[in-house]
Structure 1
Amino acid sequence: MDLIAVIEPLVTSPLLYPVLAVLCSLDGVLPMIPSEPAVLAAGVFSHTGTPNVLLVIAATAVGVFIGDHLAYGLSRSVLGPRLIGRSSRIGGAVAAAGRQLDRRAGQLIITSRFVPGGRAAMNFACGMARLPLSRFSPASAIAALVWAAYTAGLGFVGGAAFVEDPLLGLAVGLSLSLALGSIVHLVRRRSPRRKVRPQGPADPGRADTGGTAGPIGLSTAPRPCGTARGAP
């Protein structure tokens, strides 16, 4: 109950909405920022009417959209490859995402929101692969709204189901979110393998387009994904 007494004034304050927007913006570049628990907590308490769940969703979506573009812009700068190259784990995730952006950019941008750490990796991949903003921004907007509604809604349902124990509602919401993230991650890992396997030796030849490889394996050739204006 003491923890609830600490959390409740924060989530019922008018400052909650800009705080959520800032946290979700920073989370686009720094995945360790606890934006998801904050949105879930706001959703848990919003079943009482304060905070307003629609404003929670709006503030979260705006923050996510801004954070996506911060990461996208950073990865296109000279600092992007250096920052990403410091972590082999993030570098590998960015490289893996970049190889799939040609045909499934929108789908990947949206589903990456539900994979732990997937959002930052996908945003960096889109920037380094020079995915045009005309393709990145609409997908980012849809992904931001979907994730905000899902996360705040999950908290709202948890708060309504566990009125007497909001912390339990928050714990259930986090568990369900992690479970969905794990499922999406497994599906995404298995799906590309099924598509790539029949191509056999064609993949290495396809990778050699005459460009120079970046520090994490992404091509920096002038023919990155999305530069063909007629591409869907």
Structure 2
Amino acid sequence: MSVINMFRKEALRHQYKSQEFGHSVIKQPNIINKSIWALCFTMLISVIMMQYITLTSTQDFNIEIAVDNFQPLVLPAPSIITKQLVKEGEQVDKNQSIYLLSNINEIKPKQYYLRSPSSGLFFHLNTDSNISSPYKPIGFILKNNSNNEFSFWLKDKPKKNILVGDKVIISIDEKKLEGKVSMLLGNFTNKNGKKIYIKLNNIREISALSPKANMYLSLTQQPKSIAQLLN
């Protein structure tokens, strides 16, 4: 083989390698561009999800209905409760007879009626005796409320801040009362808890709001986007 042919073959080999290198250099920017577009698209989708995908949280509490919702039924002197004239949870009018009573201190007991001081729902305070004590309630009237707003005590400390407008469900036995938080008062204390006002959506199951009832509250926070939660 002549020297000239050897140089020709070597030159062709170098030319082929140069072409391969050129093709690889051309391909790399295309790969980088595709990667950048994919990254931008992923970031755009993430931003949209953060803005529009919402998360909700719930909290559960033991609650008690506050005594300021009720008008207590009291007597100035010891009396015998002869008869209860109204059923538990029944609507009564102002001055309607609720109990038939007898004065215990008289030789010839005289019967008289205890009448409702206001309109509302009647609840009897169960006791072991039918003899009332002076100025101690023997029953309560859940006062009529045109706004369907009632106050309660949260007995468990909230893990998250409660906000006006948060939706709630009050569970009493098998009954469910839906509403929303309308007002908050004071801080949580170990003695009383935290006072909260709830506006009920309707009064269909309001007869369940007995001062003796065991009540549980499920509170749903207003939906927030992921972006709001991160702020």
User: Structure 1 or 2: larger strand share?
Assistant: 2
TM-score, normalization: structure 2?
A: 0.21
User: Structure 1 or 2: larger helix share?
Assistant: 1
